[in-house]
Amino acid sequence: MIAGKYELLYLSVPLMFLAYFYADYFTIAGMGEGTALSLGLNHAAIVNAGLFDSCACKFSERCGRGQHTFRGAYSSERAGNFLRETA
C-alpha cells in the first residue's frame, strides 16, 4: 500500500456497490444479446457499463495499492478489444 494514498481506494467502494447491485443485469447481458433484448434490456449499454465499472474498480484498487502485476491485466485488454470490435 502506498502510504497516505487512500483516495483512489475510496473511489472503488461506490463502484463495487454499483457492480453488486447490477450483477443480475450483467449476468443477463452475459447470456447473449438475444436473451437481453427479449427481457427488455439494452445489451450494449449494460455490457459497456459493466466493462467500465470493472475496469474502474481494478484501476483504483491497483493504483492505491501501488503494485501492478500482469496477472489481472486480461480484463482491461479484453474490454479494449470488445470496444474496438463494436465500434
Pick from 75, 18, 6: nearest CA to 49 = 18
In this predicted structure, what is the pLDDT of residue 58?
A: 78
Counting as low any pLDDT under 70, the low residues of the chain are: 1-5, 8, 64-87
In this predicted structure, what is the pLDDT of residue 22?
A: 87
Identify the sign of the CA torsion 21, 25, 30, 31.
positive
What's the pTM value of the predicted model, to 2 decimals?
Answer: 0.64
